[in-house]
């Protein structure tokens, strides 16, 4: 299948014709318009001491190594967006492996460090995850969390059906506390991304007013802040200049929250999550409902306490029932042990997950269950399929987050940040020529 028929199948013929019309306005025959767009995004994000992440197909990098090296030198992270811009769901595991390896060799030849992979059309399969893990990627950024922030019923049936096609294409998952957190798949981290992206707003719903787009993105930020998660914005650089005001208003909204929001590249999110997954809390009973606490963590950890009396250290209000403890060693006082009890029949995968999520947990018997903040008895673990596991993990994380019991734990983000904002974009093409070369390249590699 070639790009034209693929695009028509996934986007609808009327959208494909509209898309062709915009190619000549958004791209040039030289690199100049894309250079300007990339710089615009980097500059906006750097004002908030962050850096964006751009994903690029290796063949496009091969044609524009100087431009991409220049953007990387400015501080942007560059990730892999396939060898060519094709849908991995149409490839076998071996083809996925071979094309990912070829993409890596292009990045290596260009001397560009790479940590992450995002699929064109977010088209991942279970085989893709194994391929990325085997080939040493730190993370993939494909799980599309849908933020329900636009009233779709107000749009025409034609636009609604286009929007629905995107949700299907992107394998969208509903938003919840757990879906907004990175998650391990073996050694590989899965860093969620979010939709609607710029393309869904502009091309599908035809919302083109930058102020309205900025308001929509800020609404997403508001919800992510409330849930304490990660907002990965997807903004194709071809709309970088057009969306500058929208991006600036999102960044300024994030900055104006009561607690800080961490603006950072996706690679840094992955590195942090790996660091954080090793944090542990040790408690030694001192008698009389008192515990000596030692938080084994780095200095950036956000140590949180809920419904606890902290005897000898400074705390500050944080979010909901949690207060932030400004020390790694302190004494707490509570009626129950401020950690989670897990039955001996519950498999290790549950303990591993709780540790990765930085919730302190110990094995205990049913008879002891009432002396802990919460008791988990899950002899069957999280279940077999990826979907069943995600559902069980979601329910567990939500239950712990809503717990109104004495509990010590680590916040998701460093240095007391409540939420994280990662600005990302896929450089599908740099020039008009790239746009049309895609048709040939995808045809050859599918």
Number of residues in contact with Zn ion under rule CB under 5 A: 3
Least distance (Å) between residue 445 CB and Zn ion: 14
Closer to Zn ion at the Cβ: 195 or 295?
195
Least distance (Å) between residue 236 CB and Zn ion: 7
How far is the C-alpha of 215 from the C-alpha of 218, rounded, in Å?
5
Helices in 87-243 by DSSP H: which ranges? Answer: 93-109, 126-134, 157-169, 198-199, 210-227
Closer to Zn ion at the Cβ: 56 or 264?
56
Strands (DSSP E) along 148-277, which ranges? 173-174, 183-185, 188-190, 193-195, 230-234, 261-263
Residue written as token pair 């303990």: 351
For the chain, state the CA radius of gyration. 23
- In the complex, residue closest to Zn ion by CB: 426
Closer to Zn ion at the Cβ: 83 or 262?
83
Q: Name, in order, each residue with C-beta under 8 angstroms of 14's C-beta and a sequence gap of 6 or more.
A: 158
Dihedral sign (CA 122, 124, 128, 129): positive
Closer to Zn ion at the Cβ: 52 or 120?
120
Least distance (Å) between residue 57 CB and Zn ion: 7
426 binds Zn ion (CB under 5 A): yes
Closer to Zn ion at the Cβ: 428 or 434?
428
> Of the ranges 182-190, 209-217, 420-428, 430-438, which one interacts with Zn ion (CB under 5 A)?
420-428
Tell how strand 280-287 and strand 290-296 pair up: antiparallel
> Of the ranges 105-113, 294-302, 330-338, 419-427, which one interacts with Zn ion (CB under 5 A)?
419-427
Q: From the list 77, 203, 428, 434, which residue makes contact with Zn ion (rule: CB under 5 A)? A: 428
Q: Looking only at residues 102 through 131 of this chain, which bind Zn ion when binding is defined by CB under 5 A? A: 120
Closer to Zn ion at the Cβ: 198 or 426?
426
DSSP label of 381: T
DSSP label of 203: I
Closer to Zn ion at the Cβ: 52 or 411?
52
Least distance (Å) between residue 426 CB and Zn ion: 4
Element (H, E) at 375: strand 372-376
> Of the ranges 107-115, 274-282, 405-413, 421-429, which one interacts with Zn ion (CB under 5 A)?
421-429
10 Å Cβ neighbour count for 287? 6
Tell how strand 193-195 and strand 144-146 pair up: parallel
Least distance (Å) between residue 315 CB and Zn ion: 46
Instruction: Tell me which residues touch Zn ion (CB under 5 A).
Output: 120, 426, 428
């Amino acid at each position: 299948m070639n790009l034209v028929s693929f695009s028509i199948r996934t986007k609808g013929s009327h959208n494909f014709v509209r898309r062709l019309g915009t190619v000549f306005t958004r791209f040039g025959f030289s690199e100049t318009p894309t250079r300007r767009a990339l710089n615009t995004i980097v500059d906006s994000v750097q004002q908030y001491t962050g850096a964006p992440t751009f994903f690029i197909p290796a063949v496009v990098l091969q044609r524009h190594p100087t431009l991409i090296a220049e953007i990387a030198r400015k501080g942007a992270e560059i990730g892999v967006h396939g060898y060519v811009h094709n849908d991995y769901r149409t490839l076998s595991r071996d083809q996925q492996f071979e094309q990912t390896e070829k993409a890596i060799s292009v990045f290596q030849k260009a001397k560009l460090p790479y940590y992450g992979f995002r699929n064109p059309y977010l088209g991942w399969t279970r085989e893709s995850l194994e391929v990325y893990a085997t080939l040493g990627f730190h993370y993939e950024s494909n799980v599309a969390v849908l933020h329900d922030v636009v009233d779709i019923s107000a749009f025409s049936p034609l636009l609604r059906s286009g929007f629905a096609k995107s949700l299907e294409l992107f394998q969208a998952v509903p938003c919840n506390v757990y879906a907004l957190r990175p998650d391990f798949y073996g050694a590989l981290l899965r860093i969620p991304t979010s939709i609607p992206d710029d393309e869904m707003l502009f091309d599908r719903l035809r919302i083109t007013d930058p102020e309205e787009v900025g308001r929509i993105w800020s609404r997403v930020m508001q919800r992510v802040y409330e849930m304490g998660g990660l907002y990965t914005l997807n903004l194709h650089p071809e709309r970088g200049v057009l969306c500058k005001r929208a991006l600036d208003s999102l960044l300024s909204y994030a900055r104006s929250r009561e607690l800080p929001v961490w603006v950072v590249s996706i690679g840094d999110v992955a590195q942090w999550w790996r660091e954080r997954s090793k944090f542990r809390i040790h408690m030694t009973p001192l008698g009389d409902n008192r515990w000596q606490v030692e938080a084994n963590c780095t200095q950036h950890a956000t140590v949180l306490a809920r419904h606890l009396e902290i005897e000898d250290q400074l705390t500050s209000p944080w979010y909901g029932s949690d207060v932030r403890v400004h020390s790694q060693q302190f004494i707490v006082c509570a009626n129950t042990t401020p950690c989670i009890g897990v039955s001996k029949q519950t498999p290790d995968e549950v303990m591993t997950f709780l540790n990765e999520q930085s919730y302190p947990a110990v094995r205990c018997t049913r008879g002891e269950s009432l002396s802990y903040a919460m008791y988990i008895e899950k002899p069957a673990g999280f279940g077999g399929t990826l979907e069943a596991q995600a559902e069980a993990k979601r329910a567990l994380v939500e239950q712990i987050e809503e717990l109104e019991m004495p509990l010590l734990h680590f916040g998701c983000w460093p240095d007391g940040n409540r939420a994280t904002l990662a600005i990302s974009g896929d450089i599908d093409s740099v020039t008009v020529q790239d746009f049309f070369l895609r048709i040939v390249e995808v045809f050859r590699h599918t």
